[in-house]
């Protein structure tokens, strides 16, 4: 199990620690990050939604973006309540746009139920200073 840490706006309360039920880091072909595409899928989520999201990510979404020029990597973290945080690490605004286009244009698979396919509850792009990623990053268990 990996631990994700999210800072709250309430400085007096201090940082909030959330424990992920499962996390995955998937490296991409690029190595210099300047943008984070952050997608939040809030929980609690019913088991059928959790299974549908897992299936969509593994069979449709990751195959659509894994070789995207400008993709540094992707961190996907499932919370115990079924919520998911996805952080896509990219080189540029163009790569962010291309990533979104690929996901939106990826057709549903024959075994996907469109009633269970839901977009994120919150999406944002975070501009960061250039961060070099020397190669595949290993996840560290907590």
pLDDT at 130: 75
Q: Where are the domains of the chain?
A: 21-132
The secondary structure element, H or E, covering residue 49 is: helix 47-56
Tell me: the pLDDT tens digits for 51-102?
Answer: 999 999 999 999 999 999 999 989 999 999 999 999 999 999 999 999 999 9
Q: List, edge to edge, every strand of the sheet that includes 22-27.
A: 22-27, 71-78, 84-90, 32-41, 122-132
**Res. 141: pLDDT tops 60:** no
**Res. 10: pLDDT tops 70:** no
Largest CA distance in the chain: 50
**19 CB neighbour count, 10 Å cutoff:** 13
* Dihedral sign (CA 102, 107, 111, 113): positive
pLDDT at 3: 32
Vertex 137 angle, CA 135 and 142, to 5°: 165
The secondary structure element, H or E, covering residue 56 is: helix 47-56
Tell me: the pLDDT tens digits for 88-109?
Answer: 999 999 999 999 999 999 999 9
pLDDT at 21: 63
pLDDT at 2: 30
Look at domain 21-132 and name its CATH class.
alpha beta
Lowest mean pLDDT among 26-30, 36-40, 56-60, 63-67: 26-30
Determine contact, residues 79/43, Cβ cutoff 8 Å: yes
DSSP assignment of 61-105 equals IHHHHTT-TTEEEEEEEE-TTS-EEEEEEESSHHHHHHHHHHHHH
């Amino acid at each position: 199990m990996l631990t994700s840490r999210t800072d709250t706006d309430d400085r007096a309360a201090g940082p909030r620690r959330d424990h992920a039920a499962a996390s995955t880091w998937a490296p991409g072909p690029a190595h210099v990050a300047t943008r984070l595409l952050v997608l939040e899928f809030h929980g609690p989520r019913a088991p059928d939604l959790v299974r549908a999201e897992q299936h969509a990510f593994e069979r449709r979404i990751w195959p659509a973006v894994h070789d995207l020029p400008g993709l540094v990597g992707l961190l996907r973290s499932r919370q115990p309540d079924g919520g998911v945080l996805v952080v896509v690490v990219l080189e540029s605004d163009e790569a962010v746009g291309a990533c979104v286009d690929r996901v939106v244009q990826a057709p549903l698979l024959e075994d996907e139920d469109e009633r269970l396919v839901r977009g994120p509850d919150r999406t944002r792009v975070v501009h960061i200073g250039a961060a070099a990623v020397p190669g595949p990053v290993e996840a560290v268990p907590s």
